[in-house]
Amino acid sequence: MTKSNIKKLFGNKIKTIRKSLNMSQEEFGYLIGLEQDSISKIENGRRFPSPKIIDEISYKLQLDYAQLFDFKNNEKTLNIDKKIQLEVESLNSNTKEFFYNFIKIYKLKHKQ
């Protein structure tokens, strides 16, 4: 496997993850601390992220390195729990409290 192939495979993996989260390149970049242009270059295999950025992706998405570099399962998307967690983390505390109360009421009403 060449360096170029690894950059392309990793870029495809990041793109798959980002799309599974229904995020734009700009939103994903904001999440991990990069500009949209840098995300585009990574996804297109023209740039490989630094170890610091790989750490940030791993931390923010709560994926271990094996998952990030598992190119055999590149089509696999994040599960719903991770998607919800990432969405909730981006909310302010009042909105989080609102949704928490909503979930409690929903569970009571639907006996879950």
Q: How far apart are CA 20 and CA 7, in angstroms?
A: 20
pLDDT at 5 over 60: yes
Residue 31 CB partners (closer than 8 Å, separation 6+) = 23, 60, 86, 90
Structure tokens at 53: 């950025």
Q: What is the pTM of this model?
A: 0.67
CATH class of 1-77: mainly alpha
Q: What share of the chain is helix, strand, coil (3-state, %, to 5)?
A: 70, 0, 30
pLDDT at 46 over 80: yes
Q: Which amino acid is at 40?
A: S
